[in-house]
């Protein structure tokens, strides 16, 4: 890889405009691999490079792949209208990097949300052709019945869909709890399917995408982490 000037590297990592990045460097607020650098024209190979900005380490990443434990009452839109956006839960650098959610969760839905600034990755993970299974825990307003489970598995007809939508799996976990696996990722799909099947979803949580579980990440609500290659590989359907 060709070398890049330090101001360009900082800008690519989301630390602000070129002008602001140059000021950071000239003020002595930036170190590269442990050594302070005060010239924005200094060039570096980005492979294995570790930045320290305001005493916080930031390994260079060409793209970022993030898992967020989304709390309730946060919107996935970059321009939220009624609740704070999920980007407010991340460092400001990610807004500069134009990180965005991979798909969306409703504002009142909790659980795993993937985020990235890698366009092809976002497109691939969002495509219904990938058939990436997603696991949800749904709390129902009315008690779960065997008929409801059978209906979800056989297929539920929604008004704007040409054919019934089926759950890959639907298992009762409690009197008012279902574990549902879907592959399609349609708009408000779990809630709409339950409503069409004669019940109502009062709470929804996403615990797994592909083979990657939220539990394995050890996150609390509102926390996030970078995903490594092994974790990204779990997102690919077998």
Last residue of a domain, one of 16, 35, 59: 59
Shared domain for 123 and 78, answered yes or no, is yes
Asked, for residue 238, whether it belongs to a domain, the answer is: no
Residue from 27, 45, 106, 228 carrying the catalytic annotation: 106
Domain limits for position 55: 4-59
DSSP letters, 114-146, are EEES-HHHHHHHH-GGG---EEEEEEESSPP-H
* 145 plus 201 within the same structural domain: yes
143 and 205 part of one domain: yes
d(CA 118, CA 172): 37
Residue-wise pLDDT tens digits, 82-141: 889 999 999 999 999 999 999 889 999 999 999 999 999 999 898 877 888 999 999 999
Q: Assess contact for 171 and 178: CB atoms under 8 A.
A: yes
191 and 140 share one domain: yes
- 38 labelled catalytic: no
pLDDT at residue number 66: 98
Q: What is the CATH number of the domain that holds 34?
A: 3.10.290.10
pLDDT at position 135: 97
DSSP-derived pairing of the beta strands 4-5 and 43-44: antiparallel
d(CA 209, CA 229): 15
pLDDT score recorded for residue 238: 61
pLDDT higher than threshold 80 for residue 78: no
Question: Does the pLDDT of residue 2 top 80, yes or no?
Answer: no
Query: Number of structural domains, the chain?
Result: 3
Give which of 89, 88, 116 is closest to 102, Cα–Cα: 116
User: Tens digit of pLDDT for each residue in 135-177?
Assistant: 999 999 999 999 999 999 999 888 888 889 999 999 999 999 9
- Locate 70 and state its tokens: 């989304």
Query: CATH number of the domain that 222 lies in?
Result: 3.30.70.580
In a domain, 118, yes or no: yes
Statement: residue 1 has pLDDT above 70: no
Sheet containing strand 50-53, edge to edge, reads 35-36, 30-32, 50-53, 56-59
Q: Do residue 228 and residue 191 come from a single domain? A: no
Read off the CATH number of the domain in which 141 is found: 3.30.70.1560
- 18-72 per-position pLDDT tens digit: 999 999 999 999 999 999 999 999 999 999 999 999 999 999 999 999 999 999 9
């Amino acid at each position: 890889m060709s070398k890049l000037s330090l101001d360009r590297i900082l800008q690519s990592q989301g630390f602000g405009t070129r002008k602001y990045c140059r000021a950071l460097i000239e003020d002595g607020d930036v170190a590269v691999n442990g050594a302070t650098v005060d010239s924005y024209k200094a060039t570096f190979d980005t492979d294995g490079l570790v930045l320290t900005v305001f005493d916080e380490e930031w390994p260079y990443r060409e793209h970022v792949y993030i898992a967020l434990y989304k709390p309730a009452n946060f919107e996935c839109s970059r321009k939220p209208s009624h609740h704070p956006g999920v980007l407010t839960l991340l460092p400001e650098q990610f807004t500069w990097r134009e990180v965005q959610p991979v798909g969306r969760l409703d504002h009142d839905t909790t659980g795993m949300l993937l985020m990235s600034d890698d366009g092809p990755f976002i497109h691939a993970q969002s495509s219904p052709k990938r058939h990436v299974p997603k696991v949800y825990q749904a709390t129902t307003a009315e008690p779960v019945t065997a008929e409801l489970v059978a209906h979800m598995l056989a297929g539920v007809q929604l008004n704007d869909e040409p054919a019934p939508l089926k759950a890959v799996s639907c298992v009762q976990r409690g009197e008012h709890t279902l574990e549902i696996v879907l592959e399609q990722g349609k708009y408000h799909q779990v809630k709409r399917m339950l409503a069409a099947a004669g019940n109502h979803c009062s709470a929804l949580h996403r615990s797994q995408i592909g083979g990657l579980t939220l539990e394995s990440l050890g996150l609390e609500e509102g926390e996030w982490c970078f995903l490594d290659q092994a974790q990204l590989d779990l997102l690919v359907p077998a």
